[in-house]
Structure 1
Amino acid sequence: MSALKAGILTFHRCINYGSYWQARCLTEGIQLRGHEATLIDHDSRRVNLSEWKCAFRPVLPTHVPESDYPIYREKIEKFFKEFDKLPLSPRFDLDQPQTMDYYDVVIVGSDEVWNLHHPWYGGHPFFYGDGIRADHLISYAASYGNYPAASGIDAHWAEKLKNFDHISVRDENSQEIVRNALGIEPVIVLDPCLQFEVHPDDRQDPYQKPYLAVYGHNFTTDYIEKVTNYARRKNLPLISIGYRNDWADEQWMTADPHDFAHFIARAEAVATNFFHGCVFALRNERPFAAEVTSYRSLKVQGLLKTVGASQHLVWEDTGQDVVDTIFSQPLDPAVTRNITAIRKTSDAYLDQALQIKKYSHEHIA
């Protein structure tokens, strides 16, 4: 089969470790299949301002002191440098897709690309295929994020899903939405950070002693107490990466995506309430305890159910002894076997979806 000109359409400029790595991993995964893959570099002043405002105050509604702004600025600037290194298409205005490059295939996903509740991308038709210049359109690990299946989608959005030749999602909530809208059963595939290899740059580890990684923000008092109790008994410093958590012993708020990947891989255990906190703990087989938040509950619970790791969820009524066991025991080998099996399913989906005919577009300006 001839190499395809493939575009990856996702949220690739978010100031978020998971968003960076899922975009990069999916692009590199398609490249390893022998295709010419780049990230579709859409741009929007409205989106940029919203993203950057959030990046300066990421832990709202918790107060962000002005002294933290320069620290978050340093983190943001590091992300900008990493964005520039990604394999990007020529940039174009998100609201003027007619100026984008033409592709043999565009792959929409991963991330919350179909989340109608997303605070700044939600409801943009481009991620549903409108205006995309390509012969074929497929999704990989697309998600509706915190948009619940019980709300359904109206005929307007259901019709747009028909733009896709093949559809895969990354969680049961998204699967149910598509099933109810189109009457088809989209396959559940792994997030790119679990499906493909993660290749961070070599870095000097700033923490030479064992530590417990903290990734996320606005944890409940109950969860903080349980994590802190465990860390104190084990004499493990709590190090918070990416965000301020004053209950942690140290803050590493300026870490870039490569720092993050190394940091989670070397942690003794991971305390998180983020989806990709779970993903990176899983891919590195690190013990982890995940608290569920309202915004991320569907994603986190869906992921852990899919891979058979729901025992890592921590609730208000979860006992201290259970939390201690979660943090102190190695990842169940059955979880790793489940991930390996789903990788095969994900590979099979991509193999089928990318078996497409390549056309000549020399006549297209």
Structure 2
Amino acid sequence: MSNVGIMSMQRIANYGSFLQAYALKSMIEELGHSVQFVDYHVCPPVISDDSESSNKLTRMVKKGLETFRFHAPLSHKLAFISYKRSYASKYLTLLGIAEEPNYNPTLDCMVIGSDEVFNCIQKNTNVGFSPELFGAGNNAGKVITYAASFGNTTIDKLRKYGKAEEIAGYLNDISAISVRDANSGSVVRELTSREPVYHLDPVLAYDYFGRCDRIPEIHTNEKYLILYAYSGRITDAESDWIASYAKRRGLKVYAIGGVQKCADRFIDCSPFKVLAYFRNAEEVITDTFHGSIFSVISQSPFTTIVRKSVGTGYGNEEKLTDLLNRLGLTDRMTFDVTQAEHINQEAAGLGGAQDLLSEQRVNTRKYLSREIGSK
């Protein structure tokens, strides 16, 4: 049995971050190893933004005030703030994560990933640019990655901000590199001339509904559509259309992950219960990576709204296109939310995706077993 560490985005108050971390931990434990989560030191971001404070309390207050500016019911805003404030105390213990950071423990193997652990050219002061996310300064006998992603960080951005050579050095010291998307693969090849292996996000690779006994049964007295998106990303026009569409379909709108103008309910629940809500949903509309994944594994009819990147602002086109293309589900994507009326009424068409998941789950286990070892 090896002592394995996982360095990921495990402390981010986000259902996707939690569920991918729990899934990877579970898969490694099933191979007979002990697992702990490893923290990285947050460093200043590469892209400076005067509006972003490095003080944690200041950021929390700013986020709370920002919530009140969103167009959503006041009760939902208050519930959302409560959800964010209590998230760590309620859920991080389920991952075995203590309040005190776990920096640089002695390990047999450290696994970096999944999530956007390599997305270093960004302005988020919660993450910043941390060489430790690339394996620097570790105290492990071996370092590998699993489904790591550069997110919106491209080779051009790395060169523009003078980080390409430094990142190449870190990557060359990693024993085995696994990525989850084409952009990340191309960056690795460009910087190291190595061919990475591709694996699915842990939420897809781990059979949650077949292996996890924490997902509850839920019963509601109404049919509902899940709107899974961060607060402030669904425009007023999109929200108004979703409200009208749901009403025509006889559905209530359940907002999960963020507050929404059109929501009838804001759902504050455990990450495992989120999957139960997805499993029971009539339909899903999302503009997130993990919202799409939750829909796939629960086999719920869904539409994914794609956003283009503008400057250093948010964009999800690259990662969502890559994800759904790998799953053979590009017909679930649209730039226009009104297309959800057509997309969600089509047969879910997830049978082929389920076959692919079965195959990729075997590949994931083989990779982890080979690179870490198995009982």
Q: TM-score, structure 2 length as denominator?
A: 0.82
What's the CA shift for 1:197? 3.1
- Matched to 1:345, the amino acid is N
The residue number in structure 2 matching 1:75 is: 83
Work out the CA distance in 1 between the residues paired with 2:69 and 2:214: 34
Q: Does 1:146 align with 2:164?
A: no
What's the CA shift for 1:28? 1.1
Identity across aligned pairs (percent)? 26
Q: 1:54 to 1:210 in 2, by over 3 A?
A: farther
Query: Residue 109 of structure 1 contacts residue 140 of structure 1 at CA under 8 Å; is this kept in 2?
Result: yes
- Matched to 1:210, the amino acid is K
Q: Does 1:56 align with 2:69?
A: no
Query: Residue 92 of structure 2 contacts residue 98 of structure 2 at CA under 8 Å; is this kept in 1?
Result: no
Q: 1:92 to 1:84 in 2, by over 3 A?
A: same
- Matched to 1:83, the amino acid is L
Work out the CA distance in 1 between the residues paired with 2:338 and 2:80: 35
Q: Does 1:178 align with 2:188?
A: yes
Q: 1:22 to 1:55 in 2, by over 3 A?
A: farther
Matches within 5 A, 1:37-56: 37-42=35-40, 48-49=56-57, 52=60, 56=64
C-alpha distance after superposition, 1:223-282 (max 9, x if no partner) = 445544542332111111131111123222x33323312111211111001111001111
* Deviates most, 9-18 or 64-73: 64-73
Structure 2: 5+ residue stretches without partners: 44-53
CA RMSD between the two structures: 2.9
Work out the CA distance in 2 between the residues paired with 1:207 and 1:107: 40
The residue number in structure 2 matching 1:241 is: 256
The residue number in structure 1 matching 2:277 is: 263
Structure 1: 5+ residue stretches without partners: 357-365
The residue number in structure 2 matching 1:101 is: 105
Work out the CA distance in 1 between the residues paired with 2:192 and 2:240: 45
Work out the CA distance in 1 between the residues paired with 2:121 and 2:62: 16
The residue number in structure 2 matching 1:114 is: 118
Work out the CA distance in 1 between the residues paired with 2:255 and 2:5: 35
Work out the CA distance in 2 between the residues paired with 1:331 and 1:59: 37
Query: Residue 118 of structure 2 contacts residue 134 of structure 2 at CA under 8 Å; is this kept in 1?
Result: yes
What's the CA shift for 1:26? 0.6
The match for 2:355 among 324, 333, 337 is 337
The residue number in structure 1 matching 2:214 is: 201
* Deviates most, 19-28 or 66-75: 66-75
Q: Does 1:133 align with 2:143?
A: no
The residue number in structure 2 matching 1:280 is: 294
Work out the CA distance in 2 between the residues paired with 1:280 and 1:147: 25
Work out the CA distance in 2 between the residues paired with 1:163 and 1:152: 18
The 3-state SS of whatever aligns with 1:117 is: coil
The match for 2:96 among 78, 87, 93 is 87
* Deviates most, 332-341 or 266-275: 332-341
The 3-state SS of whatever aligns with 2:141 is: strand
- Matched to 2:344, the amino acid is I
The residue number in structure 2 matching 1:25 is: 23
Q: 1:166 to 1:40 in 2, by over 3 A?
A: same
Query: Residue 57 of structure 1 contacts residue 64 of structure 1 at CA under 8 Å; is this kept in 2?
Result: no
Corresponding residue pairs, total: 346
What's the CA shift for 1:68? 5.9
Query: Residue 239 of structure 2 contacts residue 260 of structure 2 at CA under 8 Å; is this kept in 1?
Result: no
- Matched to 1:213, the amino acid is I
* Deviates most, 269-278 or 324-333: 324-333
Query: Residue 215 of structure 1 contacts residue 243 of structure 1 at CA under 8 Å; is this kept in 2?
Result: yes
The residue number in structure 1 matching 2:46 is: none
What's the CA shift for 1:151? 3.0
Q: 1:314 to 1:178 in 2, by over 3 A?
A: same
Q: Does 1:124 align with 2:93?
A: no
The residue number in structure 2 matching 1:312 is: 332
The 3-state SS of whatever aligns with 2:344 is: helix
Work out the CA distance in 1 between the residues paired with 2:265 and 2:199: 36
Q: 1:50 to 1:281 in 2, by over 3 A?
A: farther
What's the CA shift for 1:61? 8.0
The residue number in structure 1 matching 2:13 is: 15
C-alpha distance after superposition, 1:174-210 (max 9, x if no partner) = 1111111111221110111111133363546363322
The residue number in structure 2 matching 1:360 is: none
What's the CA shift for 1:9? 0.5
C-alpha distance after superposition, 1:15-70 (max 9, x if no partner) = 10000111111111100111111112457695855774576367698478987664
- Matched to 2:200, the amino acid is L
